Amino acid sequence: LDRGKARNIIKGIVKGCKDAGCALIGGETAELPGMYKGEDYDLAGFCVGVVEKDKIIDGSSVRPGQIIVGIQSSGLHSNGFSLARKVFKKNELKGKIGRTLLTPTIIYVRAIQGLMKKLKIKSMAHITGGGFYDNIPRVLAPKTAASIYKGLWPVPGIFSVIQERARISDKEMYRTFNMGIGMAVVVDRRGARKAHTEIKKCGLKSWIIGEIIKGVKEVII
């Protein structure tokens, strides 16, 4: 066990717990020399939470005319790395590109909690694996769809580089990556300014990226 490396890992976990407002209540360190060699190691973790049944945000109150507020991501957010590894050479990963790819994922707990205290969130989607097309439909009410308008927020340059090198379509990019939006929140149109204000308090940027329209639980970009 490399104590220095283990210490840095624990520091990162502690920071994540503080950002999320949760407690680190247990863990185990197993040394498996027959499986992991050299500097290889594996991390696994999970969170458990509790919510009152009448406070569950399930998307049932989503209606046409409501707006979608997108909160900035910090980069790839741990998704799409299979493709990213294919388009960058090993020596590139040791420099600026490697550091960009490894930028820690933003934890949105405090931003969302702040929003919940100030306005009613109709629905929200964490833009993880599956991008916009797979994640947003899960939190829509029946007979509604999400219309997303490209160009309303700045897409980080790393995504353009990946798209150019991989030669894939815009649709595939939005199906694979978060494209600069890590969390999408649906609120009433009149709550837009208040949403931006609360999100800004957490040091994050946000934009109106689309609206709810009539449809069949799909995303239109």
- The string of pLDDT tens digits covering residues 16-55 is 999 999 999 888 888 887 887 777 888 888 889 899 999 9
Could you give the CA distance from residue 59 to residue 160 in angstroms, rounded to a whole number?
32
**CA-CA distance, 90 to 39, in Å (whole number)?**
17
Closest to 10 (Cα-Cα) out of 31, 22, 27: 27
Judged by average pLDDT, the poorest of 40-44, 61-65, 98-102, 176-180 is 40-44
pLDDT band of 6, cuts 50, 70, 90: confident
pTM as predicted: 0.91
The pLDDT, as a whole number, for residue 52 is 94
Name the class of domain 53-220.
alpha beta
